[in-house]
Amino acid sequence: DSEWLEQVNNIITRNFTNEKFSVDMLAAEMALSRSNLRRKLKGVTGLAPIDYIRLVRLKSAATLLKEGKHRVNEVCYMVGFSSPSYFAKCFQKQYGCTPAKYKG
């Protein structure tokens, strides 16, 4: 399972700059149907594929913000969010503070 999840993470990371990256695209790259991807990912992580994709993006955003080399808006686009306000909303829900506060 950890190797499989690593493969999923690599595909998501490789597609950060593609804001149109979808669950269907992930399923295709994993050579699974959408429902089989959902079943397997939910079993391994407890999350639906779309939520897992968002989580991977947010974790990468947190790492980039801590490095302090990029502005919040830059990080937002770097990890595949197309809207800074949606990014801030998701980030705050995940980490309990705004991206700017997290960056410190």
Give residue 104's pLDDT band: very low, low, confident or very high (50, 70, 90): confident
Burial class (CB in 10 A: 0-12, 13-18, 19+), 104: exposed
User: Which pLDDT does position 19 carry in this prediction?
Assistant: 77
Give per-residue pLDDT as tens, 33-74.
Answer: 999 999 999 999 999 999 999 999 999 999 999 999 999 999
Cα(76)–Cα(82) distance, integer angstroms: 7
Asked whether residue 30 carries a pLDDT value surpassing 80, the answer given is yes
Give per-residue pLDDT as tens, 68-93.
Answer: 999 999 999 999 999 999 999 999 99
76-81 long-range contacts, CB within 8 A, separation 24+: 78/16, 78/17, 79/16, 80/15, 80/16, 80/17, 80/18, 80/19, 80/21, 81/19, 81/57
